[in-house]
Amino acid sequence: MSYLLIMLASLLSCGGQLCQKQATWKRGRRHLLGWLAFSVVLLGCAMLLWLLVLQRVPVSVAYPMLSLNFIFITLAARFIWHEPISLRHGLGVVLIIAGISILGGAA
C-alpha cells in the first residue's frame, strides 16, 4: 500500500509539472491561469499525500522513490510534446529504474 501511495504522489507531482509546461504553450491569460490553477491543485494534493507517505515509510526509502518523477516526466514529454529522448537520457532513466528496483526490494 505504501508503494502505491508513493506512486500516486509522484504521478500527482508530475501532473502538476506537466500543467506548468502546458501553460506555456498558448498565449492568453485565461489559458495560463487555468493550467497554473490545475497545477497548484495537483501539487497540493501530491504534498498532502506525501505527508501520509512519510508517516508510513522511512524517509531514506521514500525520498529516493521520487526519482520516479524523472521517468514519468520523460515519458510524458515524449508522448505529449514529442520531445526526443537521447541515448544518454534513456540510459539515465534505465539507471533510475534499476536504483528504484534495488531500493524497493530492500524495504
| pLDDT tens-digit series, residues 22-42 | 998 877 788 899 999 999 999
93 and 71 Cβ atoms separated by less than 8 Å: yes
65 and 107 Cβ atoms separated by less than 8 Å: no
| pLDDT tens-digit series, residues 43-101 | 999 999 999 999 999 998 888 888 999 999 999 999 999 999 999 999 999 999 999 88
**Res 94: pLDDT:** 95
Q: For residues 58 and 63, what is the distance between their CA atoms, to the nearest angstrom?
A: 9
CA distances 6 to 27, 35, 67, 76, Å, are: 34, 24, 11, 18
**Res 101: pLDDT:** 87
pLDDT grade, residue 1 (50/70/90)?
Answer: confident
**Average pLDDT of 11-26?**
93
